[in-house]
């Protein structure tokens, strides 16, 4: 976690906890005994930390007692599970109520009527985004074969028909002990009508199946 991020998080938590705030740092003008309005409807305002996989980020979230969301863009998702142990241990050492330390993952994915259709719709938009990031970060271009492998049970892409997607989500919810699952389906220029259909399928078919599978 960078110094800039830590300072901004510190300010956000102070704003959440106090109606009147004094704060100083290098990234913005000082705040001297100012009141912040309107106050959030939720008390306290929900704040989560998103992390990309470094142990330091996990420990930081645990030390603060904040919910943790791990962003998974590649590899085998189950390999990220031990990071939640670091998070939990840090929270326990800091004296936080472990029941309030919520776990979540954030992934790229898509759902359509069949797995084949979901893959055909999502591949090109998702590839365009990941290839652009790859040029910046040194990743090779993504192939359709790599995409298809990543759609499998052990892959990082949550793409499929309703039943396949629900099964994969439920499986990982049990592996991680998840409280929250975030799926980003608008990765790249996904056709609007297909995105609307995906949202409908997720709400009416995928989510109910996931709840039933997790309960079992």
How would residue 1 be classed by pLDDT, with cut points 50, 70 and 90? low
Distances (CA, A) of 124 to 31, 120, 142, 173, 205: 46, 8, 10, 28, 25
Q: Tell me: the pLDDT tens digits for 124-140?
A: 999 999 999 989 988 89
Return the pLDDT at 126.
Answer: 95
Sign of CA dihedral 68, 213, 160, 186: negative
Q: How far apart are CA 129 and CA 73, in angstroms?
A: 12
37 CB-near residues (< 8 Å, 6+ apart): none
Q: Tell me: the pLDDT tens digits for 35-88?
A: 888 888 888 889 999 887 788 889 989 999 999 999 998 889 999 999 999 999
Return the pLDDT at 216.
Answer: 82
Contacts 24+ apart (CB under 8 A), 7-11: 9/49, 9/64
- Render 110-157 in DSSP notation, one character per residue: EE-SSHHHHHHHHHHHHHHHHHHHHHHHTPPPPPHHHHHHHTSTTSS-
The pLDDT mean for the chain works out to 92
Domain map of the chain by residue range?
Answer: 1-47, 51-215
Token output for 41: 């409807």
User: CATH number of the domain at 51-215, please?
Assistant: 3.20.20.30
Q: Is the pTM of this model over 0.85?
A: yes
The SS3 of residue 162 is: helix
Q: Which of 17-21, 22-26, 37-41, 139-143 has the lowest mean pLDDT?
A: 22-26
């Amino acid at each position: 976690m960078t110094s800039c991020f830590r300072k901004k998080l510190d300010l956000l938590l102070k704003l959440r906890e106090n109606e009147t705030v004094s704060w100083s740092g290098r990234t913005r003008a000082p705040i001297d005994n100012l009141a912040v309005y309107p106050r959030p409807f939720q008390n306290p305002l929900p704040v989560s930390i998103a992390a990309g996989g470094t142990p330091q980020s996990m420990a930081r979230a645990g030390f603060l007692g904040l919910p943790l969301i791990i962003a998974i863009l590649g590899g085998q998702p189950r390999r990220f599970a031990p990071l939640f142990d670091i998070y939990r241990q840090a929270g326990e050492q800091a004296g936080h109520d472990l029941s309030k330390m919520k776990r979540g993952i954030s992934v790229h994915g898509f759902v359509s009527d069949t797995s084949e259709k979901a893959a055909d719709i999502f591949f090109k938009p998702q590839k365009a985004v990941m290839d652009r990031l790859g040029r910046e970060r040194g990743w090779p271009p993504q192939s359709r074969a790599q995409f298809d492998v990543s759609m499998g049970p052990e892959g990082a892409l949550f793409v499929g028909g309703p039943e396949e997607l629900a099964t994969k989500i439920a499986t990982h919810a049990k592996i991680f002990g998840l409280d929250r699952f975030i799926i980003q389906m608008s990765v790249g220029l996904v056709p609007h009508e297909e995105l609307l259909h995906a949202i409908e399928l997720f709400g009416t078919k995928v989510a109910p199946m996931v709840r039933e599978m997790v309960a079992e």
